[in-house]
Copies of this chain bind each other. A is one copy, B any other.
Amino acid sequence: MILLPTLPTLAIVGATGAVGREMLSILESREFPVSKLRLFASARSAGTQIPFRSEMLTVEPMVEGCARGVDIALFSAGKAISREWAALFVEAGAFVIDNSSCFRMDAAVPLVIPQVNPHALDAMQERGIIAVPNCSTIIALVAVTPLHRALTVERMIVSTYQAASGAGAAAMQELEQQAHAFAAGTPLATPIFGRQYLFNLFSHNSAIGEDGFNEEERKLLTETRKIWNSPSVRVAATCVRVPVLRAHAESIHLEFARSTSESEVRSLLANAPGVRIVDDRAANRFPEPIDASGGDDVLVGRIRMDPSVPDNRGVMLFVAGDQLRKGAALDAVEIAECLLERFGETDTMPQLDHRVHRTWGLV
């Protein structure tokens, strides 16, 4: 039987990155119960002081034995670090909640969005790795899953409008610095993307396969199938990087197994955990990245029937969600909350229970 202490020792691996810093802020604002928080990063960043609650924490390097005593580790330091260290943390007795793509498609590893498939954690018999899906997948599926459960998605078409943050803090800085350079009339530096980003957009910077799809697009297909346990659902995506700082938007076409109506779709979304409908046609107000930024919800709007699908089986949506929060750090912290709820030593954590239940409606 797995037992987690009521006040676990938590670790963040990759604490100085964009997602790591967001995790710290989320743990603080959600009053996540910890006895101790440990921060890990590369040797270069070790020694950095980072405030957490009333303390100053010192970033530790990853060294042999560093995982000892950790109950839950939130990894967000890239695939290579996850590949090298995740198993060592599990061996040392931790749950590892991994933001990288390293283990997502491993059949033994649950791939979890707490609003969508928290039950995937029920199968865990011992401490192990839990994977956080890719940001584009999380943001799409928080919005689409409530419709899928009621109407069965047969085909999903996605065109993304992805922010800089998905490529890390340095990419966000590159975009901001290009705005400064533009204003100053000096040449735009392009160390990260190798091309003008300000006032431009370009195909997602991930490796492209023989079929022409890049990895980001492929993740939307493979992760959706795994999370929904729906190996035949058809998904085709185009992933595009736009000059936005930290929230992704997605234009989504859905084709369902049965007929529906706009009002049915609206009422399914109105009750969906983690979803906020932003759909004011009169004021032309719909999901925008700046409104999603810093928030926990996936904003959903432009809700309308797709007239190019027969029999009222098609629906169109436009969604936006904070890439660093719901697309990464928040999803990881919510998974940690699910673990405490399931495997915590006591069932008397009224405050946490309340928050968990309110957030994804498990009551």
Binding site for B on A (CB under 8 A): 155-157, 159, 161, 175-176, 179-180, 182-184, 195-196, 198-203, 205, 208, 211-214, 234-236, 238, 240, 242-245, 249, 251, 253, 262, 281, 284, 286, 288-290, 301-309, 314, 316, 318
A156, A214, A304, A306 interface centre (most CB from chain B within 10 Å): A304
Whether the pair A203, B284 counts as a contact (CB closer than 8 A) is yes
Q: Nearest 7 pairs between A and B by C-beta?
A: A212-B304, A183-B183, A234-B308, A159-B159, A159-B251, A236-B308, A203-B286
Return the contact of A253 from the options B198, B236, B301, B309 (Cβ within 8 A): B236
Closest residue of chain B to A221 (Cβ to Cβ) is B307
Q: For residue A235, which residue of chain B has the nearest CB?
A: B308
| Complex: A314 Cα to B238 Cα, angstroms | 14
Smallest Cβ distance from A247 to chain B, in angstroms? Answer: 9
Contact of A281 among B195, B208, B235, B306 (CB under 8 A): B208
Q: Are A306 and B161 in contact, CB atoms less than 8 angstroms apart?
A: no
Q: Is the CB of A244 within 8 A of B195?
A: no
Q: Are A175 and B199 in contact (CB under 8 A)?
A: yes
B198/A308 in contact, CB under 8 A? no
In this complex, what residue of B is CB-closest to A161? B201
Determine the chain B residues whose CB is within 8 A of the CB of A302 once the complex forms.
203, 212, 238
Q: Please name all residues of chain B whose beta carbon is closer than 8 Å to the beta carbon of A242 when the two chains form the complex.
A: 161, 201, 242-243
- Indicate which residue in B202, B244, B262 contacts A212 across the interface (CB closer than 8 Å): B262
11 contacts between A and B (CB under 8 A): A157-B157, A159-B251, A180-B182, A183-B184, A195-B288, A202-B288, A211-B307, A236-B253, A236-B308, A236-B309, A251-B251
Give the residues in chain B near A208, CB-CB below 8 Å.
281, 284
Q: A179-B183, A203-B318 are in contact. Are A234 and B307 (CB under 8 A)?
A: yes
What residues on B are CB-neighbors of A306 within 8 Å? 236
The answer to whether A290 touches B253 (Cβ under 8 A) is no
In the complex, what's the smallest C-beta–C-beta distance from A299 to chain B, in angstroms? 12
* CA A195 to CA B284, docked complex, whole Å: 11
Residues of B within 8 A of A212 (CB): 262, 281, 302-305, 316
CB distance from A321 to the nearest CB of B (A): 14
Which of B159, B211, B284, B304 touches A205 (beta carbons < 8 Å)?
B284
Residues of B within 8 A of A199 (CB): 175, 179, 243-245, 289-290
Known: A195-B288, A201-B289. 9 other contacts (CB 8 A): A179-B182, A179-B198, A183-B184, A201-B249, A211-B307, A212-B262, A212-B304, A234-B307, A236-B314
A289 CB, min distance to chain B CBs, angstroms: 5
Nearest chain B CB to A178's CB is how many angstroms away? 9
* Cα A352 to Cα B212 with chains together (Å): 40
Asked whether, in the complex, the Cβ of B289 is within 8 Å of the Cβ of A200, the reply is: yes
Assuming the contacts A307-B211, A308-B235, asked whether A243 and B243 have C-beta atoms less than 8 A apart, the reply is yes
